[in-house]
């Protein structure tokens, strides 16, 4: 089966991006990374992608001022040029307009560092600690116009320890992110993740142990 062509949109370090690239390097993975795009020219992930031989593009949001539509037209032009079929937001820290999100409906994924629908938005680890939750985690979901609200594809559970700091918890959650994002993209690219009435059905996951993702981060 032909591999689906994927764009990864980043703004920074690119740890999730690197995990997706590593997965896509496997011969039987159903997706290939066509391009990595950053809205920040200095994003460290750009160098990592280039070192892997992946095409990179910069669409610097600062050049567009407040004109979000012009920025997004430039992003879409890159996606078109690389014949992209699926978009993965991976630490992409720009809000997208409903226009672009709707255009990519069911074909745009995001990773969020919390168990949605808890802790939407920023500073998720600080807020999880302040709330005293004992299980935290990460979520991969389809992107919809409402931020951090789309149909959930995969989640991973992460324990919260008594002496955790936000940084320690972030590191444990990131470990989980690196595991579920390749899993979720693989399901979507293989056509094994379908949305019905706002709910994702992962047809390839049929046992509780396949669904319960609890990475051992020790
Ligand atoms: C990741 O933890 C990701 O979940 C988060 O930013 C980090 C990016 O790290 N995304 C968000 O907070 C989106 N709202 P990375 O660039 O090393 O993958």
Distances (CA, A) of 23 to 26, 32, 45: 6, 9, 16
Instruction: Examine the domain organization and report whether 126 and 85 are in the same domain.
Output: no
Instruction: Examine the domain organization and report whether 100 and 123 are in the same domain.
Output: no
Instruction: Examine the domain organization and report whether 126 and 82 are in the same domain.
Output: no
- Residue count (the chain): 218
The pLDDT value given to residue 150: 97
Among protein residues, the one whose CA lies closest to atom 16 of ligand 1: 14
Distance CA(61)–CA(94), nearest Å, equals: 9
pLDDT tens-digit profile of 10-29?
A: 999 999 999 999 999 999 99
Least confident piece of the model among 93-97, 196-200, 204-208: 204-208
User: Of 11, 9, 22, 14, which is closest to residue 186 (Cα–Cα)?
Assistant: 22
Are 13 and 45 a contacting pair, CB within 8 Å?
yes
- Ligand 1 centroid – CA 70 distance (Å): 24
Q: Is residue 143 part of a domain?
A: no
Q: Is residue 172 part of a domain?
A: yes
Kindly indicate the confidence band of residue 214, based on its pLDDT and cuts at 50, 70 and 90.
Answer: confident
Kindly indicate the confidence band of residue 218, based on its pLDDT and cuts at 50, 70 and 90.
Answer: low
Looking at 104, 130, 147, the residue that finishes a domain is 104
Q: Is residue 80 part of a domain?
A: yes
Instruction: Examine the domain organization and report whether 94 and 166 are in the same domain.
Output: no
Instruction: Determine the structural domain holding residue 70 and report its residue range.
Output: 1-104
Q: Is the pLDDT of residue 212 over 90?
A: no
The pLDDT value given to residue 210: 84
Q: Is residue 148 part of a domain?
A: no
Instruction: Examine the domain organization and report whether 77 and 127 are in the same domain.
Output: no
Instruction: Examine the domain organization and report whether 117 and 62 are in the same domain.
Output: no
- Ligand 1 centroid – CA 173 distance (Å): 10
Q: What is the dihedral of CA 91, 19, 86, 24, to 10 degrees?
A: 160
Instruction: Examine the domain organization and report whether 6 and 100 are in the same domain.
Output: yes
Distance CA(100)–CA(87), nearest Å, equals: 11
Q: Does the beta carbon of 109 sit less than 6 angstroms from any atom of ligand 1?
A: no
Q: Would residue 112 show up in a list of annotated catalytic residues for this protein?
A: yes
Percentage of the chain modeled with pLDDT above 70 = 99
Are 76 and 57 a contacting pair, CB within 8 Å?
no
Instruction: Examine the domain organization and report whether 5 and 86 are in the same domain.
Output: yes
130-134 average pLDDT score: 98
pLDDT tens-digit profile of 57-111?
A: 999 999 999 999 999 999 999 999 999 999 999 999 999 999 999 999 999 999 9
For the chain, the domain total comes to 2
**CATH number of domain containing 34:** 3.40.50.170
Instruction: Examine the domain organization and report whether 71 and 129 are in the same domain.
Output: no
Q: Is the pLDDT of residue 167 over 70?
A: yes
Q: Mutation test of ligand 1: which of 19, 43, 91, 138 has the most ligand atoms closer than 8 Å to its C-beta?
A: 91
Q: Is residue 144 part of a domain?
A: no
Instruction: Examine the domain organization and report whether 89 and 128 are in the same domain.
Output: no
Instruction: Examine the domain organization and report whether 160 and 90 are in the same domain.
Output: no
- Ligand 1 centroid – CA 90 distance (Å): 6
The pLDDT value given to residue 81: 98
Instruction: Examine the domain organization and report whether 120 and 208 are in the same domain.
Output: yes
Q: Is residue 145 part of a domain?
A: no
The pLDDT value given to residue 13: 98
């Amino acid at each position: 089966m032909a591999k689906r062509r994927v764009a990864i949109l980043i703004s920074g370090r690119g740890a999730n991006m690197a995990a997706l690239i590593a997965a896509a390097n496997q011969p039987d993975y159903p997706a290939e990374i066509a391009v990595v795009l950053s809205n920040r020219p200095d994003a460290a992930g750009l160098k990592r992608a280039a070192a892997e031989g992946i095409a990179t593009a910069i669409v610097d949001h600062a050049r567009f001022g407040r004109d979000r539509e012009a920025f997004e037209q430039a992003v879409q032009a890159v996606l078109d040029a690389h014949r992209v079929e699926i978009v993965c937001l991976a630490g992409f820290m720009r809000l997208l307009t409903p226009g672009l999100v709707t255009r990519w409906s069911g074909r745009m994924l995001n990773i969020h560092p919390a168990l949605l629908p808890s802790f939407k938005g920023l500073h998720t680890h600080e807020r999880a600690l302040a709330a005293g939750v004992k299980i935290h985690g990460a979520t991969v979901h389809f992107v919809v116009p409402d931020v951090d609200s789309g149909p959930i594809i995969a989640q991973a559970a992460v324990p919260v320890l008594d002496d955790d700091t936000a940084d320690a918890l972030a590191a444990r959650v990131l470990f989980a992110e690196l595991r579920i994002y390749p899993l979720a993209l693989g399901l979507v690219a293989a056509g094994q993740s379908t949305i019905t009435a706002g709910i994702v059905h992962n047809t390839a996951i049929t046992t509780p142990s396949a669904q319960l993702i609890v990475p051992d981060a020790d």
